[in-house]
Amino acid sequence: MDGIGINALALILTLGLLNCVSLGECVPNAQPQVPCFFIFGDSLVDNGNNNGILTLARANYRPYGIDFPEGASGRFTNGKTIVDVLAQLLGFRGLIPPYATAQNNAILRGVNFASGASGLRRETGRNLGDHYHFAEQVEHFRSAIQTMKRNFKGNDTMLTDYLGKCIFYVGMGSNDYLNNYFMPNLYTTSYQYSQKAYSTILLQEYSQQLSQLYDLGVRKAAIVGLGQIGCIPYELARLNNNTNNNRTCNDNINKAIAIYNAGLLQMVKQFNTKPGAKFVYVNTFESSKDLVSNADTYGFSVIDKGCCGVGRNNGQITCLPYQTPCQDRTKYLFWDAFHPTEAANLIYAKKAYSSPSTSDVYPMNIQQLAIA
């Protein structure tokens, strides 16, 4: 930014002449690398779809969004989510809108269908209230396609070709463990199924819904694995309640997640045998291990507690309305009991987008997927 004053930079950003992931990383705006970007998922990427429904799984109040230009938009973090960053890295000028408020003319460039507390199973997350589970999100996409058809004069072939060039981000499964399997007082799944059997059932549902998306024209998809759920502040607070160690992860949960992720990778490989399919697996589990192991390198000094929350590890109760969060959010890996800070989301997004390592994203990164 040498030679550009703050006022001049603000004017350039206002005019849309630069695309910035951060103030230090601005590039001239050009056409997006793909025509559209569609998102399916849970609270990690929800950007406001839960705002208007009856649920505890919402984040449209301060201090959520304290570092976000639009304020408390419904994002479950202090600033950008991973898909906000990915959209910018892919060259989109504005944010991808939530399905709940998307205008018809905006759907062509992509929509975010994600919903906090959602899972692969229909009953998952019902302890928190209403939400849109994965099958409902797929149905919302089906409805969006009907809207898009009008722009293509009903030409299904042209629409299918168009969708085949777009990138689809899909991240499901966290709540099927957090707000289902590992909540035995409210759900019976842990009594009914072994960890292996449960992962098989989840992946069967996942595969069915992805098959529907494939039939609807999805060809380029980033399928996101689960991170180290056993190491989030919520689980640390529960596991370490009677100890003095704030950083002992729940290995039982992480083992269950590892079983699920291994099956998810195999599912991605299987989908890549379908004609035209180019699916990639985003290994969030390994990325999250890397961020913890090399916290200092990434600029994090607090990796075991939320920036905002209540109780041990700031993880026993999530961020309360108008609560005062930590002062320097860039030093914290977690924003609240469950969700990363914007600083962490920036790193996760960059790994998924441009990492050269297949241990981060397989068999190619999202930047390569865009041009594949």
Beta strand 25-28 with 37-40: parallel, antiparallel or unpaired? unpaired
- 106/319 Cα distance (integer angstroms): 32
Catalytic site residue from 42, 67, 84, 336: 336
184: amino acid identity, one letter: P
Catalytic site residue from 42, 43, 67, 115: 43
150: amino acid identity, one letter: R
Q: How much is the pLDDT for 245? A: 54
Beta strand 167-170 with 302-306: parallel, antiparallel or unpaired? unpaired
Q: How much is the pLDDT for 11? A: 36
Burial tier of 242 (Cβ tally within 10 Å: 0-12, 13-18, 19+): exposed
Asked whether the bond before 356 is cis by omega within 30 degrees of 0, the reply is no
- Which residues, at least 6 apart from 234, have a Cβ–Cβ distance to it below 8 Å? 178, 313, 315, 316, 318, 337, 338
Catalytic site residue from 131, 133, 140, 339: 339
Burial tier of 116 (Cβ tally within 10 Å: 0-12, 13-18, 19+): buried
Q: How much is the pLDDT for 2? A: 38
Q: How much is the pLDDT for 153? A: 85
Active site residue 43: yes
Beta strand 302-306 with 278-282: parallel, antiparallel or unpaired? unpaired
Are residues 223 and 283 in contact, defined by beta-carbon separation less than 8 angstroms? no
pTM of structure: 0.91
Are residues 73 and 101 in contact, defined by beta-carbon separation less than 8 angstroms? no
Place of tokens 């994090």: 300
Q: How much is the pLDDT for 248? A: 81
Q: How much is the pLDDT for 21? A: 56
Active site residue 339: yes
Active site residue 131: no
Average pLDDT, 10 consecutive residues per value, the chain (372 residues)? 39 43 52 97 98 96 97 98 98 96 91 98 97 98 94 90 98 98 97 98 98 98 98 89 65 97 98 98 96 96 96 92 96 98 98 97 98 94
